[in-house]
Amino acid sequence: MTAIITASELAQELTGGRPPVLLDVRWQLSLAKAAGAPPFDGRVEYAAGHIPGAVFVDLDRELAAAPGARGRHPLPDLAEFGAAMRRAGVSAGRPVVVYDGGQGWAAARAWWLLRWTGHPDVRVLDGGLPSWPGELSTVTPDPAAGDFAPVPGAGGRLDADAAAALARTGVLLDARAGERYRGEVEPVDRVGGHIPGAVSAPTTENVGPDGRFLPAAELRDRFKALGVSEDTEVGVYCGSGVSGAHEVLALAVAGIPAALYVGSWSEWSSDPSRPVVVGADPQ
């Protein structure tokens, strides 16, 4: 089973006898509020036009809990997450396809959560909504309730202590922009820099100019150059567990399993007792 699906493959499956549940997770990290502009509203974007049959899922409210000590996008309450997925029509025995506005980060967060909590068949639309060649709909569907009951997996997720340890025993990838990793700028969190031992690996370098993932072989070469081998334990973090999920997805496309530190830098940097490294050296 692949982790991604092309737009042409999705169009074919939607007309088949077992169409996937389609989730629209349009979201973007927005600093517009600080500039006095209205923040991005995925629900408004969805209402203006979405792939026919898609159900909107709110990342901030349904794929994360409220910001706090565990980070800006901590894990959601699993009972509430399960209820949201069932309302969207998600069932364990039916495939799910997730898309967003093209960046892929929000869709990857939904993909990771569903996979980590036990759904066997979840894929992300490669390239997101901009890759869709068909007409869009403004009709909000009313799907039959699904039966998905999330059960967290034994692996695939790191807490702060596990991430710190993995940076020494395996490879911990930092999916943020290089300047944030180096501590040159920090537009969101308390302090800039990175977890000691973490390797800079911006997730933006996993895709081409069209927003689609690089071929699996190219991704494998990229991660090999970053220190990932066949027997390496790999973890990923970012700012708040969203773009990091996109890097976990890229690793999956390359055939490499990886765990996500959900709290990520927003949790790590909120505790002054945790060490912070600045500069290009992982240390």
Rounded CA separation 243/259 (Å): 13
**238 a catalytic residue:** yes
Residue 108: both structure tokens together: 């990857």
**How wide is the angle at C-alpha 126 spanned by C-alphas 120 and 131, nearest 5°?**
135
Phi and psi (nearest 5°) for 185?
A: -140, 155
Q: Give Cα separations from 208 to 2, 98, 103, 175 (angstroms).
A: 19, 20, 11, 16
Sheet of 171-174: strands edge to edge? 157-158, 259-261, 234-237, 171-174, 199-200
- Point out the catalytic residue in the list 75, 110, 114, 238: 238
DSSP per-residue letters across 171-214: EEEE-S-HHHHTTS--SSSSS--B-TT-EE--GGGGB-TTSPBP
Distance from the first to the final alpha carbon of the chain: 37
- The residue assigned the tokens 């973007």 is 28
Note whether 72 and 85 are within 8 A (CB): no
For residue 276, give the amino acid letter: V
Residues contacting 254, CB < 8 A, separation 6+: 216, 219, 220, 223
CA pair distance 154, 214, nearest whole angstrom: 29
List residues with catalytic annotation.
238
